[in-house]
Chain A
């Protein structure tokens, strides 16, 4: 069954829905006993849902599979051998694992129960991180020894032969979940030696039976690790294996790369247009790092072609998202100030955030498309902001916004002096 035939327009509209509208639809689907086609309807929104996760009810099963989010695919798209998990298997695996967690499971359940659905994002994230750190190693250990659940085929629609690879993939990622979380957090703050982090993850993953390709797909889904992963692949695009790291099997790598590219394509198509500008920059960064790694001279030609296509699409998506932000988030509020009172501090703070995020996205765009085109675009935006003449807008407001867009020296050139007459 395809979503397109059952709901010809709804799926397309949902992709561009606002976060609050999307949340309402998801809450309705979450409440259904039999989700069926409705689940397929919201499948393209999953990456955006991950960003809204704190406002959704957190269950042990949902927390257990959170680290796997980049490699979870709709059941209809999953195929044996794919380094991914079918979403349709999560409920069954969760139902089998959670009761086997023992006292730790009860503790985690209690921790999550103390977290109201509307808790502030920071509180929810911290609580989930603490509970997750307790949950993931134990869940991985349970999965290592889990036999095929009796209801496997009934609940997933998959034959029993698929259970082993799915179980191994989930266990492999969960064994690395704590290391992955440290890698992501440390890389974002510039505190972590990313190469050492990747090396530790791969060495441990290689020492376990199965699931290596899924771990690789996880690393490829995250920009900073994707950019460096090529260096760990003997004979791969950038050569230069890490000492002590056994050669990564080509099959595992190929399937991980294909999975990562498919995900990147979906991110570009369905996520970038709808998420907040800062989140869009984060996704664009991941996609840019992946395609840059795959376009190295040593890569397989077919992968280079697919990476090139994704690059073009991502470039286009970045420019569209920037234009959208200027039209929707920046200019209306600036123009509004000219007709009314001066902008208050909170409004200026919001506008400066938009300007910062535009520059972030512009920097990523430079890596995806023509750098000069993005430079020109940023200068155009800064010029437009700088030339706005409005009683509610001071020259310093315009200078600051222009500085955030193009830097101080350029801003001083672009923003005219006040008319002193």
Chain B
């Protein structure tokens, strides 16, 4: 594992450099991100000590650094197989790979059922959105796109919450979920003034991410559905790039939100873990949205939390069998979280 000594920020400067959150179930891999490296995919993890900088793990070294679960081995293999293309790896590709692996049943029946349900819902929504796209384009008089183009545009339109099934669209839904998370955490913190560090930290980061994602979403949607579709026909690359921005901004929030949702009310362990994995926005978010991303305070708090967790781990002083048992419990918990994720 090599330390990324070139980092001039507490975290990478761009989203691509930060990588995409991976829904691993192995406890040792929790919080890791994947990014495109020079010659192969790389895993990026925050410095475990809480200090500045990140660690980069070559893709092929992962099975040697821990004992990945079946789910994670399959996820690694699936992403690796699809990484032949030279495009920068993004949230959509990781999402597709994660769903593919969940459908295989590697994270259990519950996760498979959730993936099946989500896939069926997507299919219905995409079919309706494709029809909507064709009808809008016909209305504005730009001619009828072929099926492939209609499907590609429908994916963008559906993702952004335009047209039929807008209420279930991933991006607006995720922004709304972040808003709820923030409200719940602040409410909990208000009732528990004695231990509010992690809750307030996650709430602040969630608010920041929701605001940035909201701005990025508005820009990606253009002034109207018709304007969006006309822009697509003029140059699909730019529209698609704009549409990925809110997804990049929201990437990584599923885990802290699920941790909070699944934990016993106010569990300090869940809050600490959520604070440790809550994503920090890279400075690129500021360039995209014009909103400030105050990461310095968040990074400072994060290091305090990482130190706290490190102390707890050191105090445990338990044998390998006990640690293995705790890890096994964590895998079960992580699989349950996969079952809760759509």
Contacts and interface: CB of A to CB of B under 8 A. Distances in A.
A189 B332 contact: no
B109 A408 contact: no
Contacts, number: 63
Contacts of A301: none
Contact of B105 (A193, A228, A360, A400): A400
Contact of A408 (B70, B268, B318, B324): B70
Contacts of A411: 70
Contact of B69 (A359, A363, A364, A408): A408
Contacts of B319: 367
B325 A193 contact: no
Contacts of B109: 345, 348-349
A394 to B, nearest CB: 7
A366 B321 contact: yes
Interface string A310-346: 0000000000000000000000000000000000010
Contact of B325 (A360, A396, A403): A360
Contacts of A366: 321
Given A345-B109, A400-B108, A409 B328 contact: no
A237 interface: no
A363 B70 contact: no
Contacts of B63: 409
Given A363-B324, A363-B325, A364-B321, A407 B67 contact: yes
B101 to A, nearest CB: 11
B146 interface: no
Contacts of B16: none
Contacts of B268: 191
B30 interface: no
Given A190-B269, A191-B312, A360-B325, A345 B110 contact: yes
A411 B68 CA distance: 12
Nearest to A394: B105
B316 interface: yes
Interface string B42-83: 000000000000000000000100011110110000000000
A279 B59 CA distance: 40
A217 interface: no
A415 B119 CA distance: 29
A356 B332 contact: yes
Nearest to A186: B269
B328 A194 contact: no
A366 to B, nearest CB: 6
Describe B's contact surface by its main secondary structure.
helix
Interface in B296-332: 312, 315-319, 321, 324-326, 328, 332
Contacts of A14: none
Interface string A395-407: 0110110010001
Interface in A220-274: 227-228
Contacts of B318: 227
Contacts of A53: none
Contacts of B326: 190
B294 interface: no
A345 B315 contact: no
B312 A193 contact: yes
A196 B312 CA distance: 11
A412 interface: yes
A396 B67 contact: no
A191 B269 CA distance: 7
A303 interface: no
A189 B269 CA distance: 8
Interface in B176-203: none
Interface string B237-266: 000000000000000000000000000000
B269 A412 contact: no
Most buried by A among B68, B70, B316: B70
A91 to B, nearest CB: 35
A190 B269 CA distance: 9
Contacts of B69: 403, 408
A364 B269 CA distance: 25
Contact of B104 (A360, A396, A409): A396
Interface string B90-128: 000000000000001110111001000000000000000
A291 to B, nearest CB: 14
Interchain residue pairs A-B with the least CB separation, the first 8: A396-B105, A408-B70, A345-B109, A363-B321, A193-B315, A403-B70, A191-B269, A348-B109
5 contacts: A191-B312, A195-B315, A359-B328, A400-B105, A408-B68
Given A193-B315, A349-B110, A397-B105, 16 more contacts: A191-B268, A194-B316, A196-B315, A228-B317, A348-B108, A349-B109, A363-B324, A364-B321, A366-B321, A394-B105, A396-B104, A399-B106, A400-B105, A408-B68, A408-B72, A409-B67
